[in-house]
Structure 1
Amino acid sequence: MNCPTCRRSLHPDETHRTACVRCENRLRAWLREIPLQRPLLEASLHIGAAPATGRLGGTGRAHAPLPLREDVLTLLGPAAPGTVHDPHHDQTGPTPIHAVLYAWADRLADQLGHALPALRPGDDYSYYVLANLRHVVTRAWVTDMYAELRDLIHRIRAVTRTEPQRRVQEAPCPSCRAFALFEEDWQTYLDCEACGLLLTPAEYRAHHAAVMPTLYRIGVLMAAATAEETPPS
């Protein structure tokens, strides 16, 4: 059986899910990242150059251009006070951060049977979805949420120029032994690209301490043996 969200094979203990542990981890990272990106978006709001002024002779602008970036305004802009329904599918254009998070938080609160909590000034509903993520990853609609949050994160990063970096780790994977363990910015787990294993940073540090001294010794012995076999020039 495959994860409906990413199509990877589900482990036997994940069959009750509609998003695997890897997808849950990515959702958690995105939801934590969004509030941290807001100050960077606000800092990117103003256009660096002064707006052009109109010129005589009919060749200039009738009005000065908007001195703010419209793409950033859209991301930071307010949303409708209630759930927006689009039965004719004629709503177009990107959706503000608040609108995306509010829509999913509202659906989540409805399914959990309680009222959506009020927001404090400057907050969004990422914290609410994050707090109930274990319920989210058992719902059929998590696949749609995953796609919307992935699109939202890509739009945010395109503005703030903060694409996360992936760094290969020194120790091999404890499951498949491949040297394919990676650490990525914003993520709470290290992941193996070969077999899909997830490790917490603490688990990786313990694994590194257990296996690397032996691998270092083997490397030194191999280098020494190679040096002995190499004839002098």
Structure 2
Amino acid sequence: MTYGSSEHTRLGKSRAPAIARAERRRSREVTACTVTSCGRTLGDDEPHWKVCGRCEHRIRGWLRELPRQLPLLRASLRPDSGPTQSAIHGGRAHAPLPVRGDVLALLGPAAPGPVHDPEGDQAGPVPIHAVIRTWAELLADERGKPLPLLRPGETYGSYLAAHLPYALTRPWIADLHQELGELISRIRNITCTEPRRRPKTAPCPDCGAFGLMEEDWQAYIDCEVCGLLLTPAEYTDHAERVMPGLYRTALLIVTHEKTGGTHREGH
């Protein structure tokens, strides 16, 4: 059989779908979001990113939320006036702390370097400032530029947000996503400020599902089904285009059901 014969062509055609499927699988492995809980395929506009647009949107939202949570954390420093704990014969085993330890640990100062704990008594959550500064230092080091100084009361959240386009290309961005998510979860448990998610009326312009949701502190409206992100202005334009037609369709359906029911009763 010579190269280019009909038999070779037939075999080549039969193998083509399998080769294409394998190439698509390899492509998905390369372009999938590296956040373990996500795994979405990256879009054509995200070729150099390590996470998808939806996870990037989450990181930005968490960085915006942190400064808003700090006053609420400070207001939560005083212990709740609940039942006395660790009592002996009606009294306390030790004097109560004047502040909540879990809140103080989050708000407290952070060590400038690695913490050596030979006694094993360094417990509790890592302070907010330490988490944010560690990632900011890594980012500044990889960019080859010094970390800027902060004014009192600031964190490096704004620095991370400003340079997030670069961070999205780094292999550690999924770890940043996970650590920020865990930090925000601890803070919300203390401040009791779980963000609200509100469904939007219009269907998703990409997949057509009624899965568009708006969440507090987030800059985008996201689709829970396909992951599409829309700015509020984009959603408003989309809703103004599609909702009148959907309202008319719904009205026709209701009218048909009512007239159909009346017609059946007449018989």
TM-score normalised per structure 1: 0.90
Higher helix share: 2
Q: Tell whether 2:169 aligns with 1:149.
A: no
Q: Which string of whole-angstrom CA distances, capped at 9 and with x for unpartnered residues, describes residues 122-151 of structure 1?
A: 111101101111111110111111111011
User: Could you say which residue in structure 2 is the equivalent of 1:93?
Assistant: 124
Tell me which of 29, 33, 41 is aligned to 1:3.
33
Q: Are 2:190 and 1:159 equivalent residues in the alignment? A: yes
Match of 1:15 among 47, 53, 75: 47
The partner residue of 1:74 within 105, 108, 131 is 105
Q: Specify the SS of the correspondent of 1:13.
A: coil
Deviations 1:106-127 (A, max 9, x none): 1111111111111111111101
The structure 2 residue matched to 1:42, chosen from 45, 53, 74, is 74
In the alignment, which of 113, 122, 127 is matched to residue 83 of structure 1? Answer: 113
Name the aligned partner's letter for residue 52 of structure 2: C
Superposed CA offset, 1:11-51 (max 9, x none): 23323111111111100000000010000000111013299
Tell whether the 8 Å contact from 1:51 to 1:65 is kept in structure 2 after alignment.
Answer: no
Mapping of residues 109-188 of structure 1, within 5 Å = 109-188=140-219
- Give the letter aligned to residue 114 of structure 2: V
Task: Please provide the CA RMSD for this pair.
Answer: 2.5
Q: Would you say the 8 A contact 1:51–1:64 is kept in 2?
A: no
Deviation at 1:69, TM superposition (A): 0.7
Alpha-carbon distance in structure 2 between the residues aligned to 1:85 and 1:187: 34
CA contact (8 A) 2:73 2:190 kept: yes
Q: Which amino acid aligns with 2:33?
A: C
8 A Cα contact 1:51 1:66, kept in partner: no
State the 1:221 CA deviation. 1.4
Identity of aligned residues (%): 53
Instruction: Check whether the contact 2:105–2:124 (CA below 8 A) recurs between aligned residues.
Output: no
Larger Rg, first or second structure (1 or 2): 2
Amino acid aligned to 1:158: N
Which residue in 1 is equivalent to 2:91?
Answer: 60
TM-score (norm 2): 0.79
The residue type equivalent to 1:18 in the other structure is: K
Mapped to 1, the partners of 2:114 and 2:174 lie a distance apart of 20
| Amino acid across the alignment from 1:3 | C
Provide the residue aligned with 1:193 in structure 2.
Answer: 224
Instruction: Give the aligned length.
Output: 229
Distance 2:78 2:249 in 1: 56
Bigger relative contact order (CA 8 A; separation at least 6): 1
Alpha-carbon separation, structure 2, partners of 1:43 and 1:148: 24
Contact 1:47 1:68 (C-alpha < 8 Å) held by counterparts: yes
CA separation in 2, counterparts of 1:220 and 1:153? Answer: 44
List gaps (5 residues or longer) in structure 2: 1-27
